[in-house]
Amino acid sequence: MRRLSRKKTLNLMKELDAFPKVPESYVETSASGGTVSLIAFTTIAFLTIMEFMVYRDTWMKYEYEVDKDFTSKLRINIDITVAMRCQYVGADVLDLAETMVASADGLIYEPVVFDLSPQQKEWQRMLQLIQSKLQEEHSLQDVIFKSAFKRASTALPPRKDNSLQSPDACRIHGHLYVNKVAGNFHITVGKAIPHPRGHAHLAALVSHDSYNFSHRIDHLSFGELIPGIINPLDGTEKIASDHNQMFQYFITVVPTKLHTYKISAETHQFSVTERERVINHAAGSHGVSGIFMKYDISSLMVTVTEEHMPFWQFLVRLCGIIGGIFSTTGILHGLGRFLAEIIFCRFRLGSSRSTAVPLPDGHTSNHLPLMTDNSTH
């Protein structure tokens, strides 16, 4: 009984076989079929390699939502070198109401030489080249996001030429915490003195001939400091053509959550518009000489997530490639054989019709002779 049930089970499984096996004696091979098979296998191997490279790659997904965080502080990371001595310049931040001056205790004033060393000039040239490429190819920003990690460094390399020149500039670097409202970070003549009605700078003690707001922005970012991220103003250098010159940067800050396979952080992206002009009250160009960065916070928040193709999707695409190529090459091969047989049959039929048959009266006929009973003997 067990053997009988096994045989029934095997017979049932054979009837359910969706892949019937053809005996080898029924299979006909040909040179054309072998050629098509070789092309199919080569194509499958090539597309499989390409699909595996796509599977290994990642892409950045951007999601937008309203930023509901109004209570946290905004961090501003600053590294700016001004071509004036440190005792002549002061930096501070005013919020939108212009009644609160952010504490500048986090900023360090360091006397330096404004001219860069050869190594530093090479760094600046490469950074400016990257900035120009980012403006042309916006997709490169995804590459920067994916390559950013905590130990990467994009800071200006330290000077190694041991310059004997006395410091003629002031490097202002550090960070500040401000409210998440529009504000104005500025560097101008004289130290800032806050008072109830606003604030002022002690500019009267500085000679007008010493004004020189040529500057270099080695780094400016908002939010958590992420080495490896290149910001729009990094590497910017401006040379003042006049003592009374104002440089303005209008910045729109967008809160950004960055989640990649190497880092997860909350930072801020920003776009900037630059403007510079000479202060001339007689010509109607009013203002104060200095460097002014007016920033505004966007109400939208961007979440940037690095995504990867799931393994099951890779398998489905791979099966589609293999099955599709086999089916397509089989159809093309069958169609080619069908057309070839039609052409060869017409050629043979035409050659047979052109054969001449002699008649008893001396004439010839191009028609095929009829088969008679005498012709079989």
Report whether 91 contacts 104 (CB < 8 A). Answer: yes
Report whether 239 contacts 213 (CB < 8 A). Answer: no
Same domain, 248 and 198: yes
Same domain, 271 and 316: no
pLDDT on residue 18? 63
pLDDT on residue 292? 93
Domain assignment present for 7: no
Instruction: Answer whether residue 36 shows pLDDT above 60.
Output: yes
DSSP state of 105: T
Instruction: Answer whether residue 370 shows pLDDT above 50.
Output: no
Confidence of residue 210 (pLDDT cuts 50, 70, 90): confident
Q: Which residue has the tokens 């597309």?
A: 47
Same domain, 125 and 54: no
pLDDT on residue 351? 62
Q: Is 176 helix (H, G, I), strand (E, B) or coil?
A: strand
Task: Give residue-wise pLDDT tens across range 81-129.
Answer: 999 988 888 888 888 765 555 556 678 999 998 888 888 888 888 888 8
Can you tell me the mean pLDDT for 291-296? 93
Task: Give residue-wise pLDDT tens across range 51-63.
Answer: 888 888 887 888 8
Task: Give residue-wise pLDDT tens across range 263-279.
Answer: 787 888 888 999 998 88
Return the percentage of the chain with pLDDT > 70, whole number: 78
Report whether 270 contacts 225 (CB < 8 A). Answer: no
Instruction: Answer whether residue 225 shows pLDDT above 90.
Output: no
Report whether 184 contacts 294 (CB < 8 A). Answer: yes
pLDDT on residue 372? 47
Same domain, 214 and 80: yes
Same domain, 266 and 235: yes
Pairwise CA distance, residues 191 & 277, whole Å: 23
Same domain, 46 and 189: no
Return the percentage of the chain with pLDDT > 90, whole number: 12
Task: Among 273, 298, 323, give the residue marking a domain's end.
Answer: 298
pLDDT on residue 123? 86
Report whether 323 contacts 314 (CB < 8 A). Answer: no
Instruction: Answer whether residue 376 shows pLDDT above 50.
Output: no
Instruction: Answer whether residue 248 shows pLDDT above 90.
Output: yes
Report whether 236 contacts 293 (CB < 8 A). Answer: no
Q: How far is CA 204 from CA 88, 200, 208, 209, 285, in A?
A: 10, 11, 9, 12, 21
Same domain, 199 and 181: yes
Maximum average pLDDT range among 30-39, 307-316, 330-339: 307-316
Task: Give residue-wise pLDDT tens across range 165-208.
Answer: 788 899 999 988 888 888 889 898 887 776 666 677 777 677 77
Task: Give residue-wise pLDDT tens across range 323-340.
Answer: 888 888 888 878 887 787
Same domain, 257 and 323: no
337 Cβ contact partners less than 8 Å away, ≥ 6 residues apart: 32
- Domain residues for 52? 31-59+308-331
What is the overall mean pLDDT for the chain? Answer: 79
Q: Structure pTM?
A: 0.68
Can you tell me the mean pLDDT for 29-48? 82
pLDDT on residue 79? 92
Confidence of residue 162 (pLDDT cuts 50, 70, 90): low
pLDDT on residue 148? 62
128 backbone dihedrals φ, ψ, rounded to 5°: -65, -35
Pairwise CA distance, residues 178 & 182, whole Å: 10
Same domain, 45 and 141: no
Q: Which residues pair with 159 in a beta bridge?
A: none
Lowest mean pLDDT among 9-23, 123-137, 210-224, 238-252: 9-23
**The total number of structural domains that make up the chain:** 2
Same domain, 219 and 327: no
Domain assignment present for 195: yes
Report the chain's C-alpha Rg in angstroms: 40
Domain assignment present for 367: no
Pairwise CA distance, residues 323 & 18, whole Å: 16
pLDDT on residue 40? 85
Domain assignment present for 261: yes
CA-closest candidate to residue 238, choices 176, 172, 290, 281: 290
Same domain, 155 and 188: yes
Same domain, 112 and 221: yes
